[in-house]
Amino acid sequence: MASGQWYPPEWPGRIRALASGSLTVSTPRRAATVMLLRDAPVAEVPAADASVADAPAVGAPAAGSGTEAAARLTVHMLRRRTTMPFAGGAYAYPGGGVDPRDDDVLVGWAGPSREQWAVRLGVDEAAAQAIVCAAVRETFEEAGVLLAGPAPDAVVGDITGADWEADRAALVAHELSFAQFLERRGLLLRSDLLGAWARWITPEFEPRRYDTWFFVAALPTGQRTAGTSDEADRTVWIAPSEAAARYDRGELLMLPPTIAALRELAGHSTVDEVLGAASGRDLTPVLARARLEDDEVVLSWPGHEEFTRRLPAHAPGEGSA
């Protein structure tokens, strides 16, 4: 068991209740999260325990330039405020739940069609649009990065002005729909800038459940990630291998999907390599299972043995059923 695994104290009781059939399982809400990536010179990669002013996007060194070894794949992460009711203090990626208006047919769209995304994500077209839209919207709301442009082959540049911040605030407050925002700005959502990476469903014993699609995307040239927000008190660009190592040492707290994705990203060297691998990724959902085995409750995530937990079948002081 890795010492950085987020594991709330109330889970054992809920797991026992689920195993005994006394827990009512809630329906997961659809959600999306985006792993923003950039190839950064090694000197720019900061320590994960520092709050940083993020640097602009840095492209990968040109092939044959002799500088390939000086660049390092990095991923943008934020630390959830400790006051958050779920996973407080844990490091995560920008993301959140689907908004009821994310399937608005008026959303300006570029890239693979809704039908193509429906096939890739394993849902109907309306749900596919909502999930992709949520990924782009939440990335703008939480990280200040906008995967959209005035044309199918263009992306907006610097969006750090006060007027952009006002739009971000209006979106967060649900005063503005993403479709309205794009229309007012004359922009198209660039779905081709996203690569579907994984799908995880919150365990059945957790009351706040999400059916979350993980995406990867490159930080657009000219854009910068924002600092802290209402939900995050720290942000950082960090090499996946370094973040994983700090999780293993118990220095960074994470949920299983977060660290699982980091370990997968650590096997790649550049942003282009990650984006190229996305199309072949298996999106079969990962759902934690709790089962009774002799005198223990076993919590496991199929395909991810490192997260397995074994608990006594009865809480201290309880007798056998």
Give residue-wise pLDDT tens across range 10-33. Answer: 777 888 788 778 888 889 999 999
Q: Check residue 20 and give its pLDDT.
A: 77
Q: Check residue 274 and give its pLDDT.
A: 98
Rg (CA), the chain: 20
| Residue-averaged pLDDT of the chain | 84
pLDDT (tens digit per residue) in 233-275: 888 999 999 999 999 999 999 989 999 999 999 999 999 999 9
In order of start, what are the domains of the chain with their CATH numbers? 26-282 (3.90.79.10)
Q: In the predicted model, what is the mean pLDDT of residues 146-165?
A: 95
24 phi, psi to nearest 5 deg? -85, 120
Report the amino acid identity of residue 245.
A
Task: Report the length, in residues, of the chain.
Answer: 321
User: Which range among 83-92, 148-157, 229-238 shows the weakest confidence by mean pLDDT?
Assistant: 83-92
> Is the separation of the CB atoms in 87 and 6 below 8 Å?
yes
* pLDDT band (50, 70, 90) for residue 87: low
Q: In the predicted model, what is the mean pLDDT of residues 218-233?
A: 83
The sign of the dihedral angle between the CA atoms of 83, 79, 35, 307 is: negative
**Strand, helix or coil for residue 198:** strand
> Is the separation of the CB atoms in 90 and 29 below 8 Å?
no
Give residue 265's Cα distance to chain centre: 13
* Higher per-residue confidence, 147 vs 41: 147
Predicted TM-score (pTM) of this structure? 0.86
* Higher per-residue confidence, 234 vs 48: 234
